[in-house]
Amino acid sequence: MASSKLLAVVFLSSLLALHAPMTTTAANSNLFRDYIGAIFNGVKFTDVPINPKVRFDFILAFVIDYTTATEPPTPTNGQFNIFWQNTVLTASDVASIKQSNPNVRVAVSLGGATVNNRPVFFNITSVDSWVKNAVSSLTKIVQEYNLDGIDIDYEQFQVDPATFAECVGRLVTTLKSNGVIKMASIAPFDNADVQRHYQALWNSYGSVIDYINFQFYAYSASTTEAQYVSHFDNQIANYPGGNILASFTTAPTTTSVPINTSLNACQTLQSQGKLYGIFIWAADHSRSQGFRYDTQAQALLANAPSY
């Protein structure tokens, strides 16, 4: 009887572990990620300096389960369409940049804040139909462009957190189990409703989420280096065990955390052994600055141990 009870406990523990949040601890790494393609200003993969000593992910922005056949654009219940500038970021361009740079992967981001300057809402007809359509449409896009992963960047919701978690969690789980993608990330920011949805996803499906592209630049322009680090620590608590990336934006703005403040905070996080990586929004904006800050961020990460 004792051995039977032990086996039952082990079996139950295994079941619970299937969808448990990741248990790895954030640590210094050399992962750099750059969103690209959303602004439609002609920026190309080859425009962006790539440090061979970092792991470099381009993230195409965006694919959206909306259609432009109507005005305003309307949800399509999981039938994703391309909204990045795919006339200059083509499938052959993806193949070429990956062949020329063995350290490069390319992912695509889902959602975003707006389409044609109108809000993009996560809005479904049913969980089963959304997952079925999303798996089908994303598989086609991922395979056509030879992509490595997806990023979840919905920012406005017309469903409850549990429904969002079930839809996205099942989508990522299916795409991974089918061998369609190798990695998945989420891109929350510190808004109460946004956090409720992403934390519900993390709590139920954290085991299939590889990175958390937290939008730290969404904090106010008055944020200090110490406050940035404190915000980072808060998100470690909100997404326990997650690989949380620091971030900044190169967009022309006076309302976001200044770039130099962000980079200084990244140096502090690295000295504390907590800088898993950095992402930037976005290469499109960085081009006008000669990719100065993309280069600086990669140089900082290149000094970190590689995992």
Q: Tell me the CA distances in angstroms from 267 to 154, 222, 225, 271, one per residue in order.
A: 29, 19, 10, 6
Alpha carbon 37 to chain centroid distance? 15
Inter-residue contact 83 to 37 (CB < 8 Å): no
Given a contact cutoff of 8 angstroms between Cβ atoms, the answer to whether 185 and 107 are in contact is yes
Q: Measured between alpha carbons, how far is 40 from 265 in angstroms, rounded to an integer?
A: 31
Q: Whole-angstrom Cα distance, residue 303 to residue 166?
A: 39
What H or E segment, with its residue span, contains residue 277? strand 277-281
Q: Determine phi and psi for 122, rounding to 5 degrees.
A: -80, 110
Are 19 and 204 a contacting pair, CB within 8 Å?
A: yes
- How is the chain split among helix, strand and coil, in percent rounded to 5? 40, 20, 40
Contacts of 160 (CB under 8 A, 6+ apart): none
**Residues whose CB is less than 8 angstroms from the CB of residue 197 and which lie 6 or more positions away in sequence, other chains included:** 122, 154, 157, 161, 164, 165, 188
Residue of 71, 144, 155, 225 marked active site: 155
Annotated catalytic residue 144: no
The encoded tokens of residue 174 equal 């299916």
Tokens matching residue 12: 């139950």
Q: For residue 216, give the amino acid letter.
A: F
Catalytic residues: 155
